């Protein structure tokens, strides 16, 4: 079975093509037959498409004024040139899409019907940076491959198991009835890495109390018990929770009232402040990238040091708040760009958890350590750095639906 995966962000489009045979070992992610990425922000004049297949790579400039046409050009590389892996796009059996927000309507993956597409459009106000891009991909595929089924995999679905006491905000109950609640995000990633941790450790997922730290430009932490999400740091939108690259995370909501009343901030200006000007960038005044912040610290930049200190403090605080709900901790997972690749961040976070008898193996932590336990043998808590594979997880969800 050939499954195409589209993972659209606000400024990017990542795609993979997998071939899964009846006897394929699904416990380990397959290498895609073909993979591509589009960066719509690399230039003010064009988008940049990068394609890799058959050991060959291609770069193609794309028009900025028609993203649907850009997706069409991307798909042509599957059947033409040095990156050709199929004779016809008609060989594709199913297309899977990552959809950031499913609202209350969708707590599991499903085939995209006109009703599902309309719901995705209706939820644009809750995911304004992502849902328009998701719809571009869905509609482009429907135009190019009208007879191939498309499937939505919702980032919020994994968090549908969060209990009411963690899901409902302490606002008048009528607002919960209107849909204001904690939805959580990065669910595809958190679900995948928790399952992968069980495989790496050779233990049933149902027996593990897990805290998963998805640390990238966008970051979230999830508490997982018996294989289910029971709490997560992101909330009604991806803005809540941790300090991130440019997002502030959780703050006193009265600050917003103050900015509106004293400084005349409107909705648009507040949205830009909270999502684009805050976080690591806002405090450090250097960069939203952890690597650049760490480099600035090495050069004596005190604001960069403060930014990293706040960043670590907030991660540690969220981890600490979730341990009582889990009733302990068996596994701490680090994933995504920062979680997978920054030994310093992992070391700093773990340094405050020694009261759990968590003991990080510094040698393992400082060397190539992806997809393995990097805790000492006598540590009471396993520490696992895992490469998140959202595209593979989406492909597996598509396979499940196809088999049904």
Its CATH class, for the domain covering 2-154, is: alpha beta
Stretch 302-315: mean pLDDT? 98
- For the chain, domain boundaries: 2-154, 203-385
3-state secondary structure of 8: strand
Residues 61, 66, 155, 377: which is the catalytic one? 155
Where do we find the tokens 């489009």? 13
| Position 125 pLDDT exceeds 70 | yes
Lowest mean pLDDT among 25-29, 52-56, 138-142: 25-29
Catalytic site includes residue 207: no
373 is in an annotated binding site: no
pLDDT digits (tens, 9 = 90+) for 154-189: 999 999 999 999 999 999 999 999 999 999 999 999
Q: Do residues 389 and 29 touch, judged by C-beta distance below 8 A?
A: yes
Q: Is 290 annotated as a binding residue?
A: yes
Task: Flag whether 216 is marked binding.
Answer: yes
The set of long-range contacts for 358-365, using a CB threshold of 8 Å and a minimum separation of 24, is: 358/329, 358/332, 358/383
Q: What is the pLDDT of residue 9?
A: 75
Q: Over the stretch 74-85, which tens digit does the pLDDT of each residue have?
A: 999 999 999 999
Q: 335: helix, coil or strand?
A: strand
Domains 2-154 and 203-385 share a fold: yes
Confidence band of 10 (pLDDT split at 50, 70, 90): low
Q: Global pTM?
A: 0.91
DSSP state of 375: B
pLDDT of residue 128: 81
337 is known to lie in a ligand binding site: yes
Average pLDDT over all residues of the chain = 94
Q: 228-244 in b/e burial notation, b at 16+ Cβ within 10 A?
A: bbbbbbbbebbbbbbbb
CATH node for 203-385: 3.30.420.40
The answer to whether 21 is annotated as binding is no
pLDDT at 246: 92
Name the 3-class secondary structure at 315.
helix
On whether the CB atoms of residues 63 and 116 are closer than 8 A, the answer is: no
Is there a binding annotation on residue 279? Answer: no
Contact between residue 244 and residue 220 where contact means Cβ atoms under 8 Å apart: no
């Amino acid at each position: 079975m050939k499954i195409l995966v589209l993972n659209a962000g606000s400024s990017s489009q990542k795609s993979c093509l997998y071939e899964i045979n009846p006897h394929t070992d699904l416990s380990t992610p397959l290498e895609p037959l073909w993979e591509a990425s589009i960066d719509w922000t690399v230039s003010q004049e064009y988008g940049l498409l990068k394609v890799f297949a058959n050991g060959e790579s291609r770069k193609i400039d794309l028009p900025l004024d028609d993203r649907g046409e850009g997706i069409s050009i991307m798909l042509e590389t599957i059947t033409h040139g040095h990156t050709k892996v199929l004779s016809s796009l008609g060989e594709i059996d199913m297309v899977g899409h990552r959809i950031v927000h499913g609202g209350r309507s969708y707590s599991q993956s499903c085939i995209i019907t006109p009703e599902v597409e309309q719901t995705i459009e209706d939820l644009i106000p809750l995911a304004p940076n992502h849902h328009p891009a998701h719809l571009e991909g869905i509609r482009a595929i429907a135009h190019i491959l009208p007879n191939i089924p498309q499937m939505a995999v919702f980032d919020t679905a994994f968090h549908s198991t969060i209990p009411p006491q963690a899901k409902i905000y302490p606002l008048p109950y009528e607002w919960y009835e209107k849909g204001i609640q904690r939805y959580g995000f990065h669910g595809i990633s958190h679900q995948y890495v928790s399952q992968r941790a069980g495989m790496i450790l050779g233990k049933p997922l149902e027996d593990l109390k897990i805290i998963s730290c998805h640390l990238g430009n966008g970051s979230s932490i999830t508490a997982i018990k018996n294989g289910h999400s029971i709490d997560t740091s992101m909330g009604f939108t991806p803005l809540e929770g941790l300090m991130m690259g440019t997002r502030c995370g959780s703050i006193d909501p009265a600050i917003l009232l103050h900015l509106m009343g004293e400084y005349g901030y409107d909705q648009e200006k507040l949205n830009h402040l909270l999502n684009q000007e805050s976080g690591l960038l806002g405090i450090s005044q250097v960069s939203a990238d952890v690597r650049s912040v760490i480099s600035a610290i090495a050069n004596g930049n005190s604001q960069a040091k403060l930014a990293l200190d706040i960043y670590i403090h907030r991660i540690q605080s969220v981890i600490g708040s979730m341990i009582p709900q889990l009733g302990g901790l068996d596994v701490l997972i680090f994933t995504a760009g920062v979680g997978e690749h920054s030994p310093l961040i992992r070391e700093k976070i773990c340094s405050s958890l020694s009261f759990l008898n968590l003991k990080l193996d510094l040698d393992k932590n400082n060397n190539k350590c992806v997809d393995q336990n990097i805790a000492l043998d006598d540590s009471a808590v396993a520490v696992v750095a895992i490469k998140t594979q959202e595209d593979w997880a989406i492909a597996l969800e598509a396979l499940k639906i196809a088999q049904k």
